[in-house]
Amino acid sequence: MQPQSFIKLFSGTNTKYLADKIAVSFGQELGKVHKIDFSDGEYTVKFDETIRGSHVFLIQSTFPPADNLFELLMMIDAAKRASASKIIAVMPYFGYARQDRKDQPRVAIGAKLVADLLTAAGVNRIITMDLHADQIQGFFNIPVDHLYASTIFVPYIQQLGLENMVIASPDAGGSKRAHSYSKHFGVPMVICHKYRPKPNVVGELRVIGDVKGKNVILMDDMIDTAGTLTAAADKMIEEGALSVRAFATHGVLSGPAYENINNSKITEVVLTDSIPLRQSSPKIKILSVADMFAETIACVYNNETITKHFVFRK
């Protein structure tokens, strides 16, 4: 008799808020796993049910602190040693993704290090969303399913019913993403550009394109301190934009981010729940990615294509 393979979902400690919603959407309860803390600060993890021969999906975003990443590594190692058939890391937010290259001498490439750590721990597949740099997929020698938040952002933008809409990027680096949205909606695109008139002189922000009388949709993959984003929004309002709304997949929101957003002229900031909010804000709206990840988990387990779940790719 051939052994039967089962699917089991587990959550890391600090992503349980999202894992619970994914499990409900998937139609299955989260498996039992707990973290064991020692008095000196060390910890380990233990699965409280058998996972032998199972397809194990470990749901954990690796936002700071680094304990979230290390807990995921420990869960992978524990699952491997418990004879799981397949180990899939579900990482809605892939931490250290901004460290994808050597942009100055004598620095680490953190994203490649994380990829190596996950692989060494024994993971068989990665499911993640809106990597800061697409080339990070090439850091792995295992399958990487790269999802896009456009699946949930596009319907939300459509229901806003905005007239005279333009899509914008807060910097030149996000122009590819903004172009995909502008092409999909058939509207113009504008780009914000920081420039320096001469070395060592702080420049100003320029808006390349017409925003006068327009409703602007700013697209980005993540918001950290929100400095550039809010400066871009304020500049567009100064140049005659009717409104500015920002959409970003990952709300890192560190340092003065909440203050910057609340004090800006931006109408609304729309984020996913890949990272939990540290505090609430009247200008921040959260759209859940739980259904998207639940559908992807089902497709991966059943060996079905996940392309049908993408509105478009960046």
194 is catalytic: yes
Which is catalytic among the residues 112, 194, 265, 283? 194
The type of residue at 221 is D
CA distance 79 to 31: 12
β-pairing verdict for 189-195 and 204-208: antiparallel
Q: Which residues are annotated as catalytic?
A: 194
